[in-house]
Amino acid sequence: MNARRLSRSLMLLTPLLAGCATQVAPWERGHLARPEMALEPYPLEASFRQHVFFSKESVSGGYGVGGGGCGCN
Amino acid sequence: MKITALTLCLLAFGSMATQAAELNAPAPGCRVQTLTGQSSVDPAAFPGKVVYLDFWASWCIPCAKSFPVLDQWQSELGGRGFEVIAINLDEERQEALDFLQQHPVRFTIGADPAGKCPRLYAVRGMPTSYLIDRQGRIREVHEGFKTSDAAGLRARIESLLSER
């Protein structure tokens, strides 16, 4: 009885967990390639913000060493 | 017990590895519908021809770069027995059709939304192309496409064409 229950739950779990094990094939990345799936939708703005952040953090030495906070480095 | 065995079978089947297409080995046959659905095409069924088998998708940026080049090769070398077979792997057929509106070409386009052929040919990146010689053997596997690749590829196609 118990063995049957175990195997039944295995049967149910197998297809579910099989999904975790499969790799996304190179040709299955159509959805991932969509612009709205990008980690950074606005790369230019992101790099600008990153630069400002870096400059301001540099003032207090919290972000490595990079000038005095004017953003001109 | 039977059910457990069945479960194990399912598990084993799910993780089965496929046989890869190898260099200098005969190109595996893989018949697919053309994108228009009017006929079918098998890249391995062109005896006596040099086949450039290309796996592409509408979302693949280098594919867009390659299409005008492939089209030019098809028109220039087609008479000498050169054949471009480009198998589309889009899940949405319409996206492939839109891509072809923007990049019109005159070579054969197959459609394999289920990904049967790229699995058989062990495609690892997009686009991947296979140069198949007149004897039907895979002579080169080319991953990706840069404009700077074109000259070298063309030279190798020419040398395959000059083989008898």
A72 at the B interface (CB within 8 A)?
no
**Domain boundaries of chain B, sorted by first residue:** 25-162
Residue B7 has pLDDT above 60, yes or no: no
With tokens 């301001």, the residue in question is A56
CA–CA separation, B101 vs B118, rounded Å? Answer: 24
A11, closest residue in chain B (CA to CA): B7
- More confident of the two residues B149 and B8: B149
pLDDT, position A59: 79
The alpha carbon of residue B124 is apart from the nearest alpha carbon of chain A, in Å, by 6
Distances (CA, A) of A11 to A14, B5, B11, B16, B65: 5, 10, 10, 18, 46
Contact B54, B82 (CB under 8 A): no
Rg for chain A, CA atoms, rounded: 25
Comparing CA positions, the residue from B1, B76, B127, B132 lying closest to residue A10 is B1
The average pLDDT across A26-54 equals 91
Q: Is the dihedral of CA B94, B98, B101, B103 positive or negative?
A: negative
pLDDT, position B2: 54
- Would the CB atoms of B59 and A29 count as touching at under 8 Å? yes
Residues A33/B69/B143/A39 CA torsion (nearest 10 deg): -20
Give Cα B103 to chain centroid, integer Å: 18
Q: What fold characterizes domain B25-162?
A: Glutaredoxin (3.40.30)
Residue B31 confidence class, pLDDT cut points 50, 70, 90: very high
Residue B14 has pLDDT above 50, yes or no: no
The average pLDDT across B75-84 equals 98
CA–CA separation, B60 vs B95, rounded Å? Answer: 12
- For chain B, which residues lie within 8 Å of any Cβ of chain A, measuring from their own Cβ? 1, 3-4, 6-7, 10-11, 14-15, 55, 57-60, 89-92, 95, 115, 118-119, 123-126, 128
pLDDT in tens, B89-112: 999 999 999 999 999 999 999 999
The average pLDDT across B15-19 equals 42
Strands (E), B63-127: 82-88, 108-111
pLDDT, position B102: 97
Residue B16 has pLDDT above 50, yes or no: no
